[in-house]
A and B are shown apart, each in its own frame.
Chain A
Amino acid sequence: MFSTSIGRKIVMAVTGCCMLLFAIVHLLGNSSIFAGAVGLNSYAQHLHSLPLPIIMAFRAVMLGLFLVHVLYGIQLTIENRTATPTSYAVKVSRKTTFASENMIWTGLLLGAFIVYHLLHFTFRVTPGLTLVNDAAGHFNVFAMVASSFSSFAGAGLYAAAMVVLFLHLYHGIQSFFQTMGWNCDCIQPKITTAGMLVALVLLLGYVSIPLSIFFGILKG
């Protein structure tokens, strides 16, 4: 099944969908920042107090999903380029969108962003981070996040990455339903609109965090 075109597309769709579900849950968790420093810090502390095997198993699964999706995505794109050797001198596109034509590039940018994001907030090895403990002696996640998003470059990078995520999901969500075969002509336009709305909610939700810190709306 994993050697054929449809089989591999299904694997991409399932792994993509799992990552989408993660992105939704991650946003819900992160929105605790709107309850101030206490909100985010207690959420982070709660996550870190989960048993280590659970955390590690979850990370391993996410890494697996990510690697499978990326490797198949790259292979798919290379195969598609070889299937179309010479391009037309004149070509009109009637259905393709900027998002659908650039899935590999938005995908690779997302991949780069995810690596940076992990080095930044998970492994905390990027320069310029405020790494302090709060009054209760726990690591102050809010201070770290606030220190990163107070600069234009810090907030801007995250905001730009979320636009890329929006583009990937704008095409990806409806593509998921088509690939899984859960589609027909009557619901296809609705799925496309719904997918766009979900992608938009994720964009606005995620972007609101760096922006509200940068513009001083959220002070902790």
Chain B
Amino acid sequence: MSDHKTMTINLVVWRQKNANDPGKFENYTVKGITEHHSFLEMLDVLNEDLIKTGKLPVSFDHDCREGICGMCSQVVNGAPHGGQERTTVCQLHMRNFHDGDTIYIEPWRATAFPIVSDLVVDRTALDTIIQAGGYVSCHTGGIADGNAILIPKPAADEAMDAAECIGCGACVAGCPNSAAMLFTGAKVSQLALLPQGKAEAKARVKNMVEAMKECGFGNCTNHYECQASCPKGINVKFIARMNREYIKAQF
């Protein structure tokens, strides 16, 4: 290791035992953080300290730690995933912070995402939306020939842009209305753009929009805060496309 410069970081972390606990902020100090630590590794250092002193470590969701699984979910200094463009919090690095900084860490806050403990929230609601129509029904059997269904390149590209969504829920966390329109819009658009998805497009959009409401998400008022929060840069044009699909589905 070439550089020995380390940072001391002050953390204000949301601690909550379970869904019924009112929860509160706790202050911690972590020492020996280098610019190469990822944000989650910095929390690992904190948790090791806590375990050594016999305290309960801070629980947080994570899995791949390479920005593709969508598990990590923290609001860092008021921005989901820390607010760096196209970056999940697992890919956020401590070089973006300075020695002595105070960092607020909070869970996703939305009625539809009850807190499990500390920074871990229950995102089953997003699965419920997918189960309502975020799939294509097809007969299984022999593998189809690669080019059996021709897909125009622009449609394939746009579907791919929508498919970038990793289902993390940052869009909900960033939205002042806790709406799940960017997530649902991305899923509806991805399938509506492709020939395989067109067959069920009408039922899909209706059912997924209905499911959004039943899960307790809010209504979109076009703030576009979701796009700024999304670690994959999903564009609000997919919300417009979903609105279009929804209108088409009425006729």
Residue of A nearest to B22 (CB): A86
Contact with B along A89-127 (1 / 0, CB 8 A): 111111110001101000000000000000000000000
Give min CB distance, A18 to chain B, whole Å: 17
Give min CB distance, B75 to chain A, whole Å: 6
Residues of A within 8 A of B106 (CB): 88-90
Q: B27 on the interface (CB 8 Å rule)? A: no
Contact status A178-B179, CB under 8 Å: no
Docked complex: A158-215 residues within 8 A CB-CB of B = 171, 174-175, 177-185, 188
Q: A49 on the interface (CB 8 Å rule)? A: no
Chain A contact residue count (CB 8 A cutoff): 43
| Contacts A8-B219, A175-B222, A181-B241; A89 near B25 (Cβ below 8 A) | yes
Cα–Cα, bound, A79→B219 (Å)? 7
Residues of A within 8 A of B178 (CB): 80, 83-84
| Contacts A5-B209, A5-B213, A100-B222; A88 near B240 (Cβ below 8 A) | no
Contact with B along A126-163 (1 / 0, CB 8 A): 00000000000000000000000000000000000000
Contact status B78-A96, CB under 8 Å: no
Residues of B within 8 A of A174 (CB): 222
Contact with A along B183-219 (1 / 0, CB 8 A): 0000000000000000000000010011011001111
Extra inter-chain contacts (15) besides given A88-B75, A103-B221, CB under 8 Å: A1-B250, A5-B181, A5-B213, A80-B177, A83-B111, A84-B218, A86-B109, A90-B106, A100-B222, A101-B223, A171-B222, A178-B239, A178-B243, A179-B222, A179-B243
| Complex A-B: 26 CB contacts under 8 Å | A4-B209, A4-B212, A5-B219, A5-B220, A9-B219, A9-B220, A80-B219, A80-B221, A82-B218, A83-B217, A86-B109, A88-B78, A90-B104, A90-B106, A91-B75, A92-B79, A95-B225, A100-B221, A101-B223, A171-B222, A175-B222, A179-B243, A181-B242, A184-B240, A185-B236, A185-B237
